[in-house]
Amino acid sequence: MEHLTATELAALVGCKSNQRAVMARWLDKNHWRYVRDTNGLPKVARAYYDRKMGLSNEKHSPKHADTPNLEAFAH
């Protein structure tokens, strides 16, 4: 699986490429999925980045809906 480089991730977050904690906080705050490598660097899959940024034409059926199902409360 291909991941964003530290430089690409830093550009997304708006920090320096060695600020791992800043990256992780931004990713958590903005609800991005990532894993940390053995050096603590957050790793974001390039395909996931493309989907989140609207750059992918890939059909992705999310596990959860983007909005709540208000009809579930209509009883």
- Please indicate, yes or no, if residue 28 is contained in any of the structural domains: yes
pLDDT at residue 25, as a whole number:
97
Domain count across the chain: 1
Q: 30 lies in a domain?
A: yes
pLDDT at 74: 75
Is the Cα torsion angle 29, 32, 33, 36 positive or negative in sign?
A: negative
Q: Is residue 44 part of a domain?
A: yes
The dihedrals phi and psi of 43, each to the nearest 5 degrees, come to -115, 120
Single-letter amino acid, residue 58: E
Q: Tell me whether residue 65 is in a domain.
A: no
Residue 61 maps to a domain: no
Q: What is the pLDDT of residue 52?
A: 92
Structural domain boundaries, residue 23: 1-55
User: pLDDT tens digits for the chain (75 residues)?
Assistant: 699 999 999 999 999 999 999 999 999 999 999 999 999 999 999 999 999 999 876 665 566 666 777 777 876
CATH number at residue 27: 1.10.1660
